[in-house]
Amino acid sequence: MRVNSKNILIQMKDVSFAYHKHAVLQDVCLNVFEKDYLAIIGPNGGGKTTLLKLILGLLKPDKGSIYVKGQTPQKASHFIGYVPQERYINRQFPISVLDIVLIGSLLPRKHIFSQRNRNKQKAQTILEQLRLSEYAHRNMRSLSGGQRQRVYIARALMTDPDILLLDEPTTGIDSKSQVEFYQLLEHLNNSLTIVMVSHDMTAISRHVKSVACVNRSVYYHDQSEISESTIQCMYPDEMTNECPIELIAHGMPHRVLKNHDH
C-alpha cells in the first residue's frame, strides 16, 4: 500500500465477505485517497460489485473493518454518490430526467415541501453543468445510453458527495459517448474522488490514476499502467503462453508494470 500525504477517504482492513458460505472477498486491504481516480478491475464473479456494496454499507463484512472518512459506511452514506449498473434500472419506467435527478435528494420527510423548490433549482443547475438542461423534461426512455449515464451522475451529485462510485458505467455506450463520458469524469475528479468498476482497458490506460485488481483478493497499483499481472487478473481463464497484452491491446496505447505485490 502506498504512503501518501493526502487524506485517506476509504479504508478497508482485513475485510472478508461470503454469500451463503461461498467466499467472495478474503482479507482485503485497500486505501482510497482524496482526489484519486481508481479503476477496479477483475473477472466476472471476482467480487468487484460486492466491494462497492461494502463501501456503500449495503453489505456488512463478515470480518474486518471499513471506514469512509473515518466513519462506518452506514453513517457516511451522504459522502458517497453511486451510479449502479444500468441493467438494474428499469428503463421503461415513465419518468422525466429532472425527476430522476431529484430522486438523489436525501431529505427527511418533514422537509420535503419546504425544500422542494431549492432542490429543483439545484437539480437544474447540475443538469446545466453536465450539459443536460435541454433534456430536463424529456422522458428517460428517449435518451441515448451516454446521456442516461450523465443523468445518473447528476442524480448522484445531488448530495454534494466527496466520493463517486460507478459500476461499469460505459457498458452499452457507443465510442463517441464514451469519450465524452470520460472527459466528464476527468473534470469531476478535480473535486471528487472517483472509484469505477470497469472492463475498459482504454480508460484504464488513458484516464485513471490507480488500479485495484479484484479476484477474491485485492492487488493494488498506485499507477494506471497495464501489466501482465493486470491482464491476468481480468482474464485468468484466457491466459496463454502468448504475450497477454496481445490478447486485448493491439492498437491500444499501453504501458507495462511490474507483477503484483500482494
Candidates 112, 85, 115, 110; CA nearest to 197 is 85
- Does 204 reside within a domain? yes
Quick one: pLDDT at residue 179? 87
Distance, CA of 36 to CA of 262 (rounded, Å): 20
In a domain, 66, yes or no: yes
Over residues 113-135, mean pLDDT: 88
At 165-184, the pLDDT tens digits run 999 998 888 888 888 899 99
Question: Once rounded to an integer, what is the mean pLDDT over residues 83-91?
Answer: 73
Structural domain for 82, as ranges = 8-248
Measured from the Cβ of residue 51, the count of other Cβ atoms closer than 10 Å reads 28
In-domain check, residue 113? yes
Helices (H), 79-216: 97-102, 116-129, 145-156, 175-188, 201-206
pLDDT for 160 beyond 80: yes
Provide the number of structural domains found in the chain: 1
Per the domain annotation, does 253 fall within a domain?
no
Asked whether residue 3 is domain-assigned, the answer is: no
For the beta carbon of residue 59, count every other beta carbon within 10 angstroms. Answer: 19
Q: Is residue 208 part of a domain?
A: yes
Cα separations in angstroms, 75 against 70, 126, 212:
10, 25, 25
Q: Is residue 255 part of a domain?
A: no
**pLDDT, tens only, 210-254:** 989 899 999 887 765 555 655 565 555 544 333 333 334 333 444
pTM over 0.85: no
Q: How much is the pLDDT for 233?
A: 57
> What is the rounded (10 degree) CA torsion for 129, 133, 137, 141?
-70
Domain membership of residue 262 (yes or no) is no
- Domain containing residue 85: CATH number: 3.40.50.300
Query: How far apart are alpha carbons 165 and 117 in whole angstroms?
Result: 27
Distance CA 43, CA 205 (A): 18
Determine the 3-state secondary structure of 81 from DSSP.
Answer: strand
